Amino acid sequence: MQPFSLRSAWRKPTFRYSTVLAWSLLCLLCTLTFAGQAHAADVSFLNPHGQIAAAQRRHFINVILLMLIVVMPVLIGTPLIAWRYRYHNTAARYTPKWGHSKWLEALIWGGPVAIVIVLGIWQAHDTPTLDPYRPLKTADPPLKVDVIGYDWKWLFVYPQLHVASLGQLVFPEHRQLAMRLTTDTVMQSFLIPALGSQIYAMAAMQTRLHLISNSTGQFLGENTQYDGMGFQHEKFIARATTPQGFRAWVARVKANGIPLTAKAYDVIRKRNTVPQIRTALNSGAMPPDAVFFNHVTPELFKNVMMSFHGGPSSSAAIVGAHPSKKPRVVPGPAIAALSPQPNAHHPVATE
């Protein structure tokens, strides 16, 4: 048996292997990035449809480019070092007692320190700018939407319009969405990637989120917090329409939606999906992925929260419905302005 030799251990073509490995990893990363962006056209912040998602993409790209300061020397230096100190290169200087280099130490430690400083400055600027609680600067007044999570669906309540929807969040383009979020079950995570900003919703607590869409379209929305066997079904469509289309949708829901009575709310509170609710409420005339409700009390969000703070927990108390007394629907100009006037049965919710 021949004795072990350090030089014989380097007889393998290390340069070829390391070069192929380094550049293969880089190509794989680029391929996955661009393929994911192309596949997820309207479900990713990499293809933003709102100013929040656009700011998040810009921040993401800046961080990636900054981190390349660390990654690229590794990808370039690994094959170069393997080539420089390959077995057959007798011109390479052999320095077995080498142990320190001031300029190399400064480069190794100075690069990460500079990156951390730059990232800290970016974070200090972007964190308050992208705060989900911070209202966006828009000319039009925001559209208020109360978001309530259940197993396994989201209920979107429009307190100023006395309507609600399951499976679809409908709103006009170029108008700010001012959302309050809570759940009637375990903690959930609300996210519309194409519009930006993920935020949690928790029982007995209220969180806030402000979003806007710069164009019409349909975007994926989902719960990203695992909450049980039906978790994979807790998705919805965020549909941005023209202002005229949104007014028409509100009018259709007020005319043809299902009254949100205590009986209907009992079905919503169960562990079920939107298709199962459609079957239980016999709402076949509506879109296959949604259920719309009218005669919705603007106090629903507050009542759901108060049910965890010693308030009544029965469906009738939470809904606040009076089936024998239909609320007055303000016609024409009130619908056009998307701000119905308060009445005896539906006082306007206050913040």
Residue 135 lies in a domain: no
Q: What was the pLDDT predicted at 269?
A: 94
For 122, the token pair is 């970016």
pLDDT of residue 182: 97
Percentage of the chain beyond pLDDT 90 is 52
Does position 325 have pLDDT exceeding 90, yes or no?
A: no
pLDDT at 134: 95
CATH of the domain at 226: 2.60.40.420
Q: Tell me whether residue 339 is exposed, middle or buried, using C-beta atoms within 10 angstroms of its C-beta: 0 to 12, 13 to 18, 19 or more.
A: middle
Same domain assignment for residues 211 and 91? no
The residue that leads in pLDDT, 226 or 321, is 226
Q: Token pair for residue 145? A: 């939407």
Do 197 and 83 lie in one domain? The reply is no
Quote the CA–CA distance of 115 and 70 in Å, as a whole number.
9
In a domain, 349, yes or no: no
CB 170 within 8 Å of CB 246: yes
Question: Per-residue pLDDT averaged across 243-254, rounded?
Answer: 97
Task: Provide the number of structural domains found in the chain.
Answer: 2
- pTM assigned to the model: 0.76
Convert the pLDDT of each residue in 9-46 to its tens digit.
444 455 555 566 666 766 766 665 555 444 444 567 68
Q: Give the pLDDT score at 70.
A: 84
The verdict on residue 2 lying in a domain is no
pLDDT for the residue 31:
63
Q: Are 236 and 211 in contact (CB under 8 A)?
A: no
Q: Tell me whether the omega of the peptide bond preceding residue 249 falls within 30 degrees of 0, making it cis.
A: no
Residue count of the chain: 351
* Domain extent at residue 102: 9-129
Amino acid making up residue 332: G
247 and 177 together in one domain: yes
The secondary structure element, H or E, covering residue 306 is helix 300-306
Of 47-51, 189-193, 238-242, 282-286, minimum mean pLDDT range:
282-286
Residue 348 lies in a domain: no
- List, for residues 83-108, the tens digit of each pLDDT value: 888 888 888 888 888 888 999 899 88
